[in-house]
């Protein structure tokens, strides 16, 4: 049969594609299909599976005079396993001899190593040729050592282009038409016909050279992944495949660690404008990533990672203004063949950070110490340190105009880069981070720049009326929010005072039944869990009414959590605590939102904050602050019913605090008043609030349950107060912040008043709160905010609002 197409396609298969089992069968299928379709193809192969690594391991054993026969036997067995009459005795004999010699000498040269490693590719190409021939395909084993000629640099040889091209063209003239050449990748030979290898990514290089010499139509690189991704999918689950890349972008990716690509393999393709397609051997439906000369749409392309690197830091006050320091560093390192992948130097020239391969770090430090020995004596250089546990993340396509976004996101998530560096012309920024933070850092940056949903990881403490409603509201709207706002709200923890449910992928609608089966916990367990699962954009929600829980705020902030709270306690502890909390937030760049602390879901705190910040002088805030007491007195004043009955209703409707006495004793309104006062910059303490306690003294002591059983004792007290009012008057329990609000402290009153039914306060209905905000500009006409002031649904909605506000800030 003849090929229908005369333009050649080069197919290159990597080691994982050629492994025993599924891999090699897939490779055969691909080749058979292409031949069947009449495509003109040449196939370049790596060694199979882990062959190259195995040969290196055996070499190591042999040179150390350790027994290696078992490993060698396993290697041989793997090569011929289940291929019947396939024989590679020559190659096995060569290996036997080479290893024996190395073992005897206790040494080997790079030349010998190249001879050893080359056997992997030779066996691989011979096997495939054998199988294809058996299937009736006109396959021709092609030893690239006869075609690609190189300089004599064993281990990293450079091709001699003119000679190699002549050889290749001549060979392909002879074997064309019906022949499928099966070419060994990676290996070549020098002009003395000694085996050389082309270094890392050598097989890809062979394929690119052949494509160039033969003016191929396309190079198809078959790997075990479906193309190039926006980030390593093993580390970033949201990573997306990139459909197209330009050579320039691919080159940058290659340089910054995308190990499918290598800069030197792209250059021969650029020269002849030959497209490179990265394909997956195991997924024939996927069209992979296409790399061409065409500039694809602008924008950030990918995140790549360099691991196995170390950061060397050279510090010295005496370096300021000194000429030639960098030159000395590079010269000293170059002398030892140590390459610097990133350098960063402050304008003060006091510190220079260098990234080198980890295995060269100790030597690099040694040569720098030698080079700067005299400077140490003069105290011009004071230290050279090495940080090993680091990694470099490069954002390919990123310039500094929008770099603040990923950078701020990192800082917010407590990932502080050790160093960053950008290129002036090419667009990319590299950051050095601690390896322990790599996973989290990648996800944070990826979420920020790729427009895929930004994950917000939420821990909900307290799942009673408000907390439980909040969780349900979030679960119900999460999909819609993800679609509209590209924010993925993930509740990874739900806890009460005893138990916790943890799930890094988020709880589902069954959370309630599972949480009680959860474990007991301490706050450090939640922090550890978030850390272990690299959870970013952390928010802790306090939906308890607990003073104890507020003790956790500090450690949560220190560990990267923003806070949202419906609990009013933290804002009403001592003024010192109030200030310390804000200092801690400032220090750790964290946010604390608590809109529901006053007026439940009403936008009160925000309004007060804005007025205050914009310089509008607030002179008084007055109103019905409590939703439950509003309901109680509105209903009791209007209807002929028992006080205890209406109070029971307010409790059942979820308007009251977990302990309803907190409402009736005035503490809840007192807290709200104090919170507003502090928003205005006043430094009042809780005991400055003048509170009219609505609970008769004889009912104040004891447990909440006992109190609830004695509610009827309140009836006569409040009936009397009601009856003694002037006509057309109603009872209201109000808060009033007044006095000179520009001094250190204001006057805070919480009291029961009787007001005309026709007044603004008198007309409040249901569980509504009303807040009258008096300011200098508005004079006697207050700004009025009125609406439902209590209730689980509105409060949870308010907490939800705070969460969304935080996601916008982050």
Ligand X SMILES: NC(=O)C1=CN([C@@H]2O[C@H](COP(=O)(O)OP(=O)(O)OC[C@H]3O[C@@H](n4cnc5c(N)ncnc54)[C@H](OP(=O)(O)O)[C@@H]3O)[C@@H](O)[C@H]2O)C=CC1
Which residues are annotated as catalytic? 672
* Residue 666 binds ligand X, judged by CB under 6 A: no
Q: Hey, what are 654's tokens?
A: 């979820």
Provide φ and ψ at 592, rounded to 5°: -135, 115
CA 52 to chain centre: 34
Residue closer to ligand LTNE7NMQ (CB basis): 397 or 789: 789
Show the binding pattern over residues 191-210: x = contacts ligand X (CB under 6 A), - = does not: --------------------
CA triple 635-639-643, angle to 5 deg: 65
Residue closer to ligand X (CB basis): 467 or 623: 467
Which of 656, 667, 807, 810 contacts ligand LTNE7NMQ by CB under 6 A? 656
* Residue 570 binds ligand LTNE7NMQ, judged by CB under 6 A: no
Query: Which residues are CB-contacts of 64 (< 8 A; sequence separation ≥ 6)?
Result: 106
β-bridge mates for residue 386, sequence order = 312
Which of 202, 506, 627, 798 contacts ligand LTNE7NMQ by CB under 6 A? 627
* Residue 544 binds ligand LTNE7NMQ, judged by CB under 6 A: no
Which of 657, 663, 772, 802 contacts ligand X by CB under 6 A? 657
Q: What gap in Å lies between CA 735 and CA 772, rounded to an integer?
A: 10
Which of 567, 667, 807, 810 contacts ligand X by CB under 6 A? 567
Q: What gap in Å lies between CA 769 and CA 625, rounded to an integer?
A: 6
Residue closer to ligand LTNE7NMQ (CB basis): 353 or 627: 627
Q: Which spans in 292-437 are helix H?
A: 325-335, 361-371, 373-377, 404-412
Q: What gap in Å lies between CA 756 and CA 720, rounded to an integer?
A: 18
Contacted by 718, from ligand LTNE7NMQ, ligand X, none: CB < 5 to 8 Å by type: none
Shortest Å, Cβ 257 to ligand X? 44
* Residue 345 binds ligand LTNE7NMQ, judged by CB under 6 A: no
Q: Find, among 230, 227, 238, 245, the residue nearest to 286 by Cα.
A: 227
Which of 264, 534, 568, 622 contacts ligand X by CB under 6 A? 568
- Scan residues 9-38 and list those touching ligand X (CB under 6 A): none
Helix axes 643-652, 627-638, angle to 10 degrees: 140
Q: 3-class SS at 125?
A: helix
Show the binding pattern over residues 230-269: x = contacts ligand X (CB under 6 A), - = does not: ----------------------------------------
Q: 3-class SS at 644?
A: helix
Q: What gap in Å lies between CA 668 and CA 672, rounded to an integer?
A: 6
**Contact status, residue 108 vs residue 5, Cβ threshold 8 Å:** no
Shortest Å, Cβ 764 to ligand LTNE7NMQ? 13
Shortest Å, Cβ 657 to ligand LTNE7NMQ? 5
Q: 3-class SS at 347?
A: coil
Which of 64, 423, 497, 781 contacts ligand X by CB under 6 A? 497
Which of 115, 626, 635, 810 contacts ligand LTNE7NMQ by CB under 6 A? 626
CA distances, 280 to each of 109, 124, 226, 255, 285 (Å): 36, 19, 5, 22, 9
Residue closer to ligand X (CB basis): 552 or 684: 552
Which of 117, 329, 538, 600 contacts ligand LTNE7NMQ by CB under 6 A? 600
Q: What gap in Å lies between CA 697 and CA 719, rounded to an integer?
A: 17
Contacted by 552, from ligand X, ligand LTNE7NMQ, none: CB < 5 to 8 Å by type: none
* Residue 674 binds ligand X, judged by CB under 6 A: no
Length of the chain: 810
Residue closer to ligand LTNE7NMQ (CB basis): 180 or 598: 598
Q: Find, among 37, 115, 164, 194, the residue nearest to 11 by Cα.
A: 37
* Residue 792 binds ligand X, judged by CB under 6 A: yes
Provide φ and ψ at 95, rounded to 5°: -65, -45
- Scan residues 97-126 and list those touching ligand X (CB under 6 A): none
Q: Single out the segment in contact with ligand LTNE7NMQ by CB under 6 A; choices: 7-15, 89-97, 480-488, 621-629.
A: 621-629
**Contact status, residue 84 vs residue 6, Cβ threshold 8 Å:** no
CA distances, 123 to each of 78, 116, 573 (Å): 11, 12, 77
Q: Hey, what are 672's tokens?
A: 């709200």
Contacted by 494, from ligand X, ligand LTNE7NMQ, none: CB < 5 to 8 Å by type: none
* Residue 643 binds ligand LTNE7NMQ, judged by CB under 6 A: no
Which of 103, 302, 543, 769 contacts ligand X by CB under 6 A? 543
Residue closer to ligand X (CB basis): 554 or 619: 554
Q: Hey, what are 297's tokens?
A: 């749409």
Cβ neighbours, 10 Å, residue 345: 18
Q: What gap in Å lies between CA 262 and CA 426, rounded to an integer?
A: 17
Shortest Å, Cβ 552 to ligand X? 8
Residue closer to ligand LTNE7NMQ (CB basis): 19 or 790: 790
* Residue 553 binds ligand X, judged by CB under 6 A: no
β-bridge mates for residue 784, sequence order = 772
Burial of 504 (0-12, 13-18, 19+ CB in 10 A): middle
Shortest Å, Cβ 493 to ligand X? 11
Q: Hey, what are 374's tokens?
A: 């005299």
* Residue 667 binds ligand X, judged by CB under 6 A: no
Contacted by 601, from ligand LTNE7NMQ, ligand X, none: CB < 5 to 8 Å by type: none
Q: Single out the segment in contact with ligand X by CB under 6 A; choices: 367-375, 443-451, 563-571, 729-737.
A: 563-571
Q: Are strands 561-565 and 538-542 parallel, antiparallel or unpaired?
A: parallel
**Contact status, residue 692 vs residue 666, Cβ threshold 8 Å:** yes
* Residue 790 binds ligand LTNE7NMQ, judged by CB under 6 A: yes
* Residue 790 binds ligand X, judged by CB under 6 A: yes
Cβ neighbours, 10 Å, residue 608: 22
Tell me which DSSP letter residue 294 carries. Answer: S
Contacted by 663, from ligand X, ligand LTNE7NMQ, none: CB < 5 to 8 Å by type: ligand LTNE7NMQ
Show the binding pattern over residues 588-607: x = contacts ligand X (CB under 6 A), - = does not: --------x---x-------
Q: Hey, what are 415's tokens?
A: 């990932």
Residue closer to ligand LTNE7NMQ (CB basis): 655 or 718: 655
Contacted by 181, from ligand X, ligand LTNE7NMQ, none: CB < 5 to 8 Å by type: none
* Residue 654 binds ligand X, judged by CB under 6 A: yes
CA triple 625-630-635, angle to 5 deg: 175
Contacted by 465, from ligand X, ligand LTNE7NMQ, none: CB < 5 to 8 Å by type: ligand X
* Residue 507 binds ligand X, judged by CB under 6 A: no
Contacted by 595, from ligand X, ligand LTNE7NMQ, none: CB < 5 to 8 Å by type: none
Number of H helices, E strands in the chain: 28, 30
Applying CB under 6 A, what is the total number of residues that bind ligand X? 31
Residue 610: enclosing H or E segment and its boundaries? helix 604-613
**Contact status, residue 478 vs residue 807, Cβ threshold 8 Å:** no
Q: What gap in Å lies between CA 598 and CA 621, rounded to an integer?
A: 12
Residue nearest to ligand X (CB): 464
* Residue 668 binds ligand LTNE7NMQ, judged by CB under 6 A: yes
Q: What gap in Å lies between CA 531 and CA 446, rounded to an integer?
A: 18
Applying CB under 6 A, what is the total number of residues that bind ligand LTNE7NMQ? 11
Residues near ligand X, by CB under 6 A? 461-467, 495-498, 543-546, 548-549, 566-568, 596, 600, 627, 654-655, 657-658, 790-792, 795
Residues near ligand LTNE7NMQ, by CB under 6 A? 600, 626-628, 655-657, 663, 668, 789-790
């Amino acid at each position: 049969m003849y090929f229908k197409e005369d333009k050649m396609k080069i197919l290159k298969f990597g080691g994982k594609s050629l492994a025993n089992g599924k891999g090699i069968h897939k490779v055969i299928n691909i080749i058979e299909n292409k031949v069947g379709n009449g495509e003109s193809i040449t196939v370049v192969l790596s060694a199979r599976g882990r062959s190259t690594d195995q040969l290196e391991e055996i070499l190591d054993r042999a040179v150390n005079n350790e027994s290696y026969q078992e490993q060698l036997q396993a290697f041989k067995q793997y090569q011929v396993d289940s291929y019947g009459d396939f024989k590679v005795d020559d190659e096995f004999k060569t290996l036997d001899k080479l290893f024996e010699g190395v073992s005897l000498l206790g040494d080997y040269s790079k030349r010998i190593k190249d001879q050893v490693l080359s056997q992997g590719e030779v066996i691989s190409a011979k096997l495939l040729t054998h199988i294809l021939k058996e299937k009736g395909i006109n396959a021709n084993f092609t030893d690239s050592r006869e075609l690609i000629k190189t300089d004599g640099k064993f281990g990293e040889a450079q091709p001699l282009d003119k000679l190699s091209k002549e050889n290749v063209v001549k060979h392909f003239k002879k074997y064309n038409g019906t022949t499928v050449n099966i070419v060994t990748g990676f290996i070549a030979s020098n002009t003395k016909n000694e085996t050389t290898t082309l270094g890392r990514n050598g097989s890809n290089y062979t394929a690119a050279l052949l494509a160039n010499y033969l003016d191929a139509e396309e190079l198809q690189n078959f790997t075990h992944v479906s193309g190039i991704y926006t980030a390593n999918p093993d580390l970033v689950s949201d990573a997306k495949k990139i459909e197209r890349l330009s050579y320039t972008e691919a080159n940058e990716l290659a340089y910054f660690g995308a190990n499918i690509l290598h800069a030197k393999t792209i250059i021969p393709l650029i020269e002849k404008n030959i497209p490179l397609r990265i394909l997956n051997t195991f997924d024939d439906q996927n069209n992979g990533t296409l790399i061409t000369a065409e500039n694809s749409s602008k924008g950030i392309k990918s995140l790549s990672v360099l691991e196995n690197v170390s950061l060397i830091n050279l510090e010295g006050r005496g370096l300021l203004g000194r000429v030639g320091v960098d030159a000395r560093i590079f010269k000293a390192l170059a002398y030892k063949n140590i390459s610097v992948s990133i350098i960063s130097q402050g304008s003060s020239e006091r510190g220079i950070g260098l990234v080198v391969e980890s295995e060269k770090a100790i030597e690099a430090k040694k040569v720098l110490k030698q080079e700067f020995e005299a400077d140490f004596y003069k105290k011009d250089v004071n230290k050279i340190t090495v940080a090993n546990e680091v990694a470099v993340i490069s954002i390919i396509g990123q310039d500094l105009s929008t770099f603040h976004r990923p950078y701020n996101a990192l800082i917010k998530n407590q990932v502080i880069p050790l160093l960053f560096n950008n290129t002036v012309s090419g667009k990319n920024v590299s950051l050095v981070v601690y390896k322990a933070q790599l996973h989290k850092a990648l996800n944070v940056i990826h979420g920020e720049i790729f427009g895929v949903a930004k994950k917000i990881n939420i821990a909900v403490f307290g799942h009673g009326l408000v907390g439980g409603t909040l969780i349900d509201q979030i679960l119900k709207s999460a999909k819609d929010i993800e679609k509209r706002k590209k924010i993925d709200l993930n509740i990874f923890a739900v806890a009460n005072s005893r138990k916790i449910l943890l799930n890094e992928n988020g709880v589902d609608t069954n959370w309630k039944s599972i949480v009680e089966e959860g474990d007991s916990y301490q706050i450090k367990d939640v922090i550890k869990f978030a850390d272990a699962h690299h959870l970013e954009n952390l928010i802790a929600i306090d939906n308890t009414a607990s003073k104890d829980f507020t003790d956790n705020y500090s450690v949560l902030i220190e560990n990267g959590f923003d806070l949202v709270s419906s609990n009013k306690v933290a804002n009403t502890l001592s003024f010192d605590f109030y200030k310390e909390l804000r200092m801690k937030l400032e220090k750790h760049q964290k946010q604390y939102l608590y809109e529901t602390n006053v007026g439940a879901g009403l936008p009160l705190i925000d309004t007060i904050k804005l007025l205050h910040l914009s310089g509008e002088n607030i002179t008084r805030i007055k109103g019905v602050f409590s939703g439950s007491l509003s309901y109680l007195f509105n209903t009791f004043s209007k209807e002929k019913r028992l006080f205890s009955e209406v109070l029971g209703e307010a409790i059942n409707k979820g308007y009251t605090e977990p302990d309803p006495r907190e409402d009736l004793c005035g503490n809840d309104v007192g807290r709200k008043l104090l919170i507003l006062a502090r928003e205005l910059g006043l430094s009042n303490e809780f005991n400055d609030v003048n509170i009219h306690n609505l609970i008769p003294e004889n009912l104040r002591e004891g447990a909440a349950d006992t109190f609830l059983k004695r509610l009827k004792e309140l009836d006569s007290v409040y009936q009397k107060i009601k009856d003694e009012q002037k006509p057309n008057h109603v009872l209201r329990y109000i808060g009033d912040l007044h006095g000179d609000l520009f001094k250190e402290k204001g006057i805070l009153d919480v009291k029961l008043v009787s007001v005309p039914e026709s007044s603004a306060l008198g007309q409040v209905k249901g569980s509504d709160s009303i807040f009258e905000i008096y300011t200098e500009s508005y004079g006697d006409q207050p700004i009025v905010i009125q609406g439902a002031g209590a209730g689980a649904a509105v409060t949870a909605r308010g907490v939800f609002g705070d969460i969304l506000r935080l996601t916008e800030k982050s």
